[in-house]
Amino acid sequence: MNLIFAQLSGFFKIIFLILVSYPVLGAFYWFVGAICFRFLFRYNLPAWIPLTKRIEPMITIMIPAHNEEIVIEKTITYLMTKLNYHNYEVLVTDDGSTDQTPVILERLMQRYDNLRVLHIEKNKGKAHAFNIGVGFAKGKLILSNDADTVPEPDALWKYVNYFLYRNSNNIAAVTANMDVKNRTKIIAKSQTVEFSSIVGIIKRTQQAVLGVIYAYSGANTMYRKRALLDVGLFRQNRATEDISIAWDHQAREWLSLFAPEIMFFMEVPEDLKGLYHQRKRWAKGGTEVWLTNFKLVFHHPIRNIGRTMLFVDQSLSIIWSLFFWFSSIVFAIKMIIAISSGQWVTIYQLLTTSAVFISFEMIAGILQLMASLIVDDRGRKLKYFLFAPFYMLFYWLINTLTILTTFIAAVKTILGQGTGTWVSPERHRD
């Protein structure tokens, strides 16, 4: 019996060591991966090839929309007038809007010949609206574009470069590099740091080292229509259709690419309430994908070792989030007991241990964020490093908290109780 307890104790010590060191080792791993992407990734384009009007493939820019009266006209006007491309259409799938969105769209159709609108009577979610739109899309390439998002003017022909490059027939989708459009408040400015950290470094590493990526950006990604049809389109009962379809594509041996040189700009939450709701959806969707692909990955773990490693990393991320809050609760309880009983040595030990732990976490985070801001967008975002402490203080806590609070809901979705019905984020007029 003593031997069994000793073995269990040793096992849990190893697990504890892994969880404590995970963020530190992860930060170093992402940094090395970004270097590998820069110098070793085989699908980096040698140069952009400007396309003539004659050879431009038809593109459908699809905007699933629900109650977007504040932003939809500005977005469509930009897409119609600012893009350096000719052969495209804009297809809006209005998913049961109850505000002035349908009225605005009808007026805009009178202005732009290449704007089409599909009206869906009942709100059934972004994935459902997108799936309906695919059946009406004229282009063999489809660009998903959120109602509050605009790509850079050269984005379309840059996207097409990947699909016209040699050995590109197996490319399912190319996802671009996100940036913040509304940088007026500190929460929004902090997300500039986050996007560089998550998208700028992590996706580079996933692409270069593992050969797979965790997620597309639902706000702006160009899909090959044939690849969408091959996986049965988007899963309509998932919180994050962009994460889910990335895994579906890669499970079917399609290639998914991240193109950091293609930029798009999106509106982000400007208050903690909006941020929390956004991260709840992201966390729930991530856990859903984790549970959905568990059997697929470990049934043949060696067949695609990159996908297996990505899954292991996601597993550690989820477990670490749960561990963080569990250990925080245990710490708080021990501190209360120690203070109430005057155990000053215990208090000192607890504070010292937590200080060492937090210091390692903060140092790792600072190094990762600094490296990501240097690598991403040619270092032009480095000035936003000033907001890194705010990001690490609030965003890390919120991200781990949302994984904890949405875990049960994600399990229910996998058991058949999920819904794709969406609620648009709160918009603010300029």
Radius of gyration of the chain (CA): 23
DSSP class of residue 263 equals E
pLDDT of residue 420: 54
Contacts of 180 (CB under 8 A, 6+ apart): 188, 189, 191, 192, 195, 265, 266, 267, 268
pLDDT of residue 387: 64
Strands 88-95 and 59-65: parallel
pLDDT of residue 390: 66
pLDDT of residue 359: 74
Structure token pair of residue 342 = 């005057």
Phi and psi of 380, rounded to 5°?
Answer: -75, -10
Residue 227: name the closest of 322, 163, 295 by CA. 163
Sign of the torsion angle spanned by Cα atoms 302, 305, 309, 314: negative
Structure token pair of residue 200 = 């700028």
pLDDT of residue 325: 81
Strands 255-266 and 171-180: parallel
Task: Give the three-class secondary structure for 117.
Answer: strand
Give the span between the Cα atoms of 363 and 361, in whole angstroms: 6
Class level of CATH domain 59-182+216-298: alpha beta
What is the DSSP annotation of 13-73?
A: HHHHHHHHHHHHHHHHHHHHHHHHHHHH-TT--SS--PPPTTTPPPEEEEEEESS-TTTHH
Domain parsing of the chain, residue ranges: 59-182+216-298
Please list the alpha-helical segments (H only) found in 300-343: 305-341
For residue 294, how far is the Cα from the chain centroid?
Answer: 20
Structure token pair of residue 185 = 């408040």
**Locate tokens 């599909």: which residue?**
118
Q: What is the model's pTM?
A: 0.81
Structure token pair of residue 26 = 């992860």
| pLDDT in 10s for each residue of the chain, 430 residues | 555 555 555 555 666 666 666 666 766 776 677 667 766 666 666 678 888 778 889 999 999 988 888 889 999 999 999 999 999 999 999 998 888 989 999 999 999 999 999 998 888 888 889 999 999 999 999 999 998 899 999 999 999 998 987 677 889 999 988 877 666 676 666 666 667 656 667 777 777 777 788 888 888 999 999 999 999 898 887 777 888 898 889 888 898 888 888 988 887 777 777 777 777 887 888 888 888 877 777 777 777 777 788 788 788 888 878 887 887 888 888 888 888 888 888 878 878 877 777 777 777 777 767 666 666 666 566 666 666 666 666 667 777 788 888 888 888 877 776 555 555 555 555 5
